[in-house]
Amino acid sequence: MILKDEREGRELLVEYGHKLLECGLVQGTWGNISVRLDDKYMITTPSGLDYDRVTPDDMVVVEIKSLKYEGDIKPTSEKALHAGVYALRPEVGAVIHTHSKYCCIFAAARMPLEVENVKLASEIGNVLKVAEYGLPGSARLTKNTLRALGSSAGCIMANHGMLCCGPDIIQTFDTCGKIEQAAMEYIDSRWERC
């Protein structure tokens, strides 16, 4: 999906921020989303503001290469992570980073997610690697996450959450839900036996 203009990108971020909240994939200000505007710029959610009250005007246009932005509203503290994905993966049009519960169980255990459901595996891959730990917003977190992501649809971030990407926000949101579902199926099938 190619964005019509910057306004459409801003509105999509608000819409999908609400959808992530409704699905329980993010809570409050936690997690962040971005869309690619063009080769040079991305639009990200702002830092530290609740998804239930942000407006299109709160979204921030950030230069992918320099991470520079204009205006008083700060972009997400994970802007470097988003920019890194766009720089490395020209086909990517949207990035979602969440602290969703079941992915967080893998993150806490620092274990890769093996996708056991064959249908889901055909869509999101057989294994989602786990990135080594880095403090939130740090260069180390970005480096480790990009390494674990490689060319796949997503990855687990140690003690932190998950990140996924796709050609547009619609498909990326869909992938995000499927990754959480795969994690839930893995954990709950074993937890019930405990």
Partner 1 sequence: MDKTETIAKYGAMMMELPYSVGDVPRILFKQDDRCFVTAEDADFTHIKDEDIVDVTNMESPEIQTLMAMDEMNAMVLSNPPYIGICIESRHEIHAVLDDMAQIVGRTVKVVPHTTKSIGKALRGSAAAMVKDGYVITCGRNLYEAYVAMTVLEKSAEVLLKSAVLGGSVPISAMDAKLMREFYKRKYSKAEKEHKDDTEG
For binding to partner 1 (CB under 8 A), which residues are involved?
A: 24, 27-30, 46-50, 53, 74, 77, 99, 101, 104-111, 135-136, 158-161, 187, 190-191, 194
Q: Output the smallest distance, CB 193 to partner 1, in A.
A: 9
Minimum CB distance to partner 1, residue 181 (Å): 16
Nearer to partner 1, 64 or 182 (CB): 182
Measured distance CA(88)–CA(55) in Å, rounded? 29
Q: 118: which 2 tokens?
A: 């064959």
Nearest to partner 1 of 171, 181 (CB atom): 181
List the alpha helices (DSSP H) in 43-168.
79-88, 101-109, 118-124, 139-149
Choose among 71, 93, 74, 73: nearest CA to 82.
Answer: 93
Judged by CB, which is closer to partner 1: 42, or 130?
130
Q: For partner 1, which is the closer residue by CB, 64 or 158?
A: 158
Residue 18's nearest CA partner among 62, 47, 55, 60 is: 55
Nearest approach in angstroms of CB 1 to partner 1 is 30
Query: Are the CB atoms for 186 and 121 separated by under 8 Å?
Result: no
Shortest Cβ distance from residue 28 to partner 1 (Å)?
Answer: 5
